[in-house]
Amino acid sequence: MGTLGKAVRGAFPGSAGVSPALGRGASRPVPADRTVDLAGASDGAGRPLPQCRRDACAPREGLCVLGVWLLAGLCFAAPTGTKVTIDGLPGPGFATIQAALDGAPPGAVVKVPPGRYQENLVLKRTVKLQGVGRPVIHGTGQGSVILILADACELRGLRIEHSGGDLQAEDSGILVKSRSTVLEGNELRDVLYGIYLLRAPETVIRNNVIGGRPELELGERGAGLHFWDSPDNVVEDNTIFDTRDGLYIQSSPGSRIRRNRVFRVRYGVHYMFSDKNSFEENIFCDSVAGAAIMYSTDIQFRHNAFIHNRGFSSFGILFQDCERCSAHRNFIVDNGTGIFMEALRDSSFRENVIAENDVALQMFSSAEGNVFSGNNFVENLSPLQLIGSSTTTRWDEGGRGNYWSNYAGYDLDGNGIGDVPHKIQNVFEYMEGNYPRLRLYLESPAAQAIGTAEKLVPLVRLPSTVDSFPRMKPVRLAFAAQPGSRPYLAQSLLALVSLVMLGAAIQTIRWGQRR
């Protein structure tokens, strides 16, 4: 990984489980069995945790095993001395959550005190289920831990774990089959699907943490958030990891996805047949692809970061048979391929940073009518791989081109635009697009000689991949914190902009020295 890539990863603090030492092609997961020194740790009430010596426990192995079983029995038993209550309803309370749900009138607030409750729940009437002190709802291991059938229910402050393992049965931490549900401030662990919306429109999913089952292969897991035929949702400020896809959205138009963090998954966000959606200010990293947008139209994405998505056939963003998509002010940094485009039509890419990818753009000739304008292409190994004989992509718009860190032209009139058009792809890179094995020779003297000879004596007719108005300096991008956004995201994006501009300045100085 280059200097820019390392700095970029350092600019996004708080990446739980994401190792900053990962380099190009490195495996992603941090070992889960890492030992932890408990010296000086407390139990949360200020009392130090007892330290255990292995040799002291060895003579009493049978007693230790018995103690473990007794402790497990205590953990899974219903809490004693506390009852589940319903606001405004007198009485001693309920021993189980399901009993309280069944006895609650419509619109009631059901409060769950601290403790561990081993049961699956079904919400058949409109209620607000509120955890006090983060109670644990430990499922039976079959089916979904919580099933919501009534409209306008709310779940807050719960820890939900141990769902079933049947993908076909949609076994989930929370399975929603109703409309206008609010799911906020919950933590889901050890679940197959995290939150599954099945014909559940107008759902709000906010500030939840969803962790899947990392012991399973990717194809055996469910998505962190799975939408099917569920339009018009709001998804904000969630953290998702170790699932199949972070967000899988099928046949669900009109959702807004903002300020989420997704890592260690297959695709960070995956659209299928879902039109008129938007996502912004999200971070997608350490996955196979940051975003996969397939068979959808009118997808708008702004101010997102797609960082260090690497592995076999990995991408920052993947497009497959889409129309009228718009990418504005995103960071696409340190991926195997920055943007992959097949059958993408009439889409625009403006003011994005595409930096330190192995391949900045991999484009099939079936991608037609797209435009790139005002983007910063910085230190990519290959700027473009064109698969096919031609492209109708335009590299400037209204006299506004892009910044290319490898541009070797000049600006005699000082208007900030190069006087010589920038040829994006040389003959070797064109050959590489149609013969991928040639990539082995990308930085070889032979490849450089071919590129130089083609400039002097252009014997091969290449597709028109020319930026007629290349910028001499990178586009200056500024990010302002949006109301309600997390401060670290805006600060991280500002830091990333500064790093990119610094790298571009260094490249400009080096070019001047070579002259």
Q: Is the dihedral angle over the CA atoms 411, 415, 419, 425 positive or is it negative?
A: positive
Beta bridge partners of 376: 353, 403
10 Å CB burial of residue 60 (0-12, 13-18, 19+) is exposed
> Which pLDDT score, from 0 to 100, does residue 391 have?
85
Last residue of a domain, one of 287, 311, 340: 287
The answer on 305 and 281 residing in a single domain is: no
The answer on 200 and 346 residing in a single domain is: no
| Residue 154 neighbours by CB distance under 10 Å | 18
Residue 10 lies in a domain: no
What is the three-state SS of 187-254?
EEECCCEEEEEECCCCCEEECCEEECCCCCCHHHCCCCEEEECCCCCEEECCEEECCCCCEEEECCCC
Residue 164 lies in a domain: yes
CATH number of the domain encompassing residue 271 = 2.160.20.10
Range of the domain at 98: 81-287
Contact 476, 501 (CB under 8 A): yes
> Which pLDDT score, from 0 to 100, does residue 481 have?
39
Number of domains the chain is built from: 2
The answer on 317 and 260 residing in a single domain is: no
The answer on 110 and 85 residing in a single domain is: yes
The answer on 191 and 88 residing in a single domain is: yes
Residue 194 lies in a domain: yes
Dist CA 240 CA 413 (whole Å): 51
> Which pLDDT score, from 0 to 100, does residue 445 have?
65
> Which pLDDT score, from 0 to 100, does residue 92 have?
83
The answer on 369 and 228 residing in a single domain is: no
DSSP state of 84: B
The answer on 357 and 274 residing in a single domain is: no
Give me the average pLDDT of each 10-residue run along the chain (515 residues).
Answer: 48 38 34 34 35 34 39 45 80 92 95 96 97 97 98 98 97 98 98 98 98 96 98 98 98 98 97 97 97 98 96 93 97 96 97 95 94 96 85 92 94 93 68 50 56 54 78 77 42 50 53 52
The answer on 139 and 97 residing in a single domain is: yes
The answer on 325 and 280 residing in a single domain is: no
The answer on 319 and 242 residing in a single domain is: no
> Which pLDDT score, from 0 to 100, does residue 455 have?
55
> Which pLDDT score, from 0 to 100, does residue 151 have?
98
Residue 128 lies in a domain: yes
Residue 65 lies in a domain: no
The answer on 375 and 273 residing in a single domain is: no
The answer on 276 and 305 residing in a single domain is: no
Residue 187 lies in a domain: yes
Last residue of a domain, one of 230, 257, 287: 287
Question: Backbone phi, then psi, for 323, in 5-degree steps?
Answer: -140, 150
Contact 198, 177 (CB under 8 A): yes
Residue 269 lies in a domain: yes
Residue 5 lies in a domain: no
Question: Mind giving me the DSSP string for 149-164?
Answer: -STT-EEES-EEE---
Dist CA 308 CA 285 (whole Å): 6
> Which pLDDT score, from 0 to 100, does residue 342 have?
96
Q: What is the token pair recorded at 148?
A: 């919501």
- Whole-prediction pTM value? 0.76
Query: Taking CA 416 as the corner, what is the angle to CA 411 and CA 420, rounded to the nearest 5 degrees?
Result: 40
Secondary structure element (H or E) that encloses residue 502, with its range:
helix 487-514
Last residue of a domain, one of 259, 287, 315: 287
